[in-house]
Amino acid sequence: MDALTNRQAAILDYIRCEIIRSGRPPTVREIGAKFGVTSTTTVQDHLAALERKGCIRRDGSASRNIRLAGEFAPPSGLPLVGRVAAGRPIEAIENLEGYVSLDSPFASPEELFCLRVEGESMKDADIRNRDIVVVRKKEWFDDGEIGVAVVDEEATVKRVTRTKDGVDLVPANDAFSTTHVGPGKGFRYAGQVVGVLRAMRPA
């Protein structure tokens, strides 16, 4: 493979990071905005060079048609992107720790990621310490669903319910208290828990 220029390497790294972070590739305009390039033709030229060098492929004419190729393609499986607290919130989930291989029973696995649970606040919902939860990326939640909430850049898994002045994060363990999140607390929703993976524990 021909060597990449610095700009091509940076664009390739950005594409990979966006696929890991959001589950989808960036558009041409998003790439241009990231690198301060106003000409979509210039971005297309960089992508064409990456395609010729075997780093990416482009499928059809959709706006998000970039796929990583060859040695740059991600491993099979769902990305394990960090830890989430079932107890006290911990640092937000950003770092890729690896991949979880499984024959996914879920539709659209590209919309999924995994997190390792720390704590026992959701044990009565059968989510326990050291379990891996499978999360479907969503920016909104149905009232009462179990999901990953991020508050002031700290993440936790709880049952999420709306109140008249904010959101309640409700544990599934009587030893833990409900956390109320009022306006201005930097709340965002990372996604719904749709599965739990667990290794057998000794009796």
Active-site annotation, residues: 121, 158
Side-chain half-sphere of 110: how many Cα atoms within 13 Å?
A: 8
Question: Backbone phi, then psi, for 192, in 5-degree steps?
Answer: -95, 135
Comparing CA positions, the residue from 11, 133, 142, 7 lying closest to residue 78 is: 133
Here the tokens at position 203 are: 């009796």
Query: Are 134 and 197 a contacting pair, CB within 8 Å?
Result: yes
Element (H, E) at 197: strand 187-197
Query: Are 187 and 149 a contacting pair, CB within 8 Å?
Result: yes
Question: Backbone phi, then psi, for 106, in 5-degree steps?
Answer: -95, 145
SS3 letters for 107-127?
CCHHHEEEEEEECCCCHHHCC
Collect all residues with Cβ–Cβ distance below 8 Å to 170 and sequence separation of at least 6: 158, 159, 160, 161, 178
Q: What is the DSSP letter of 68?
A: E
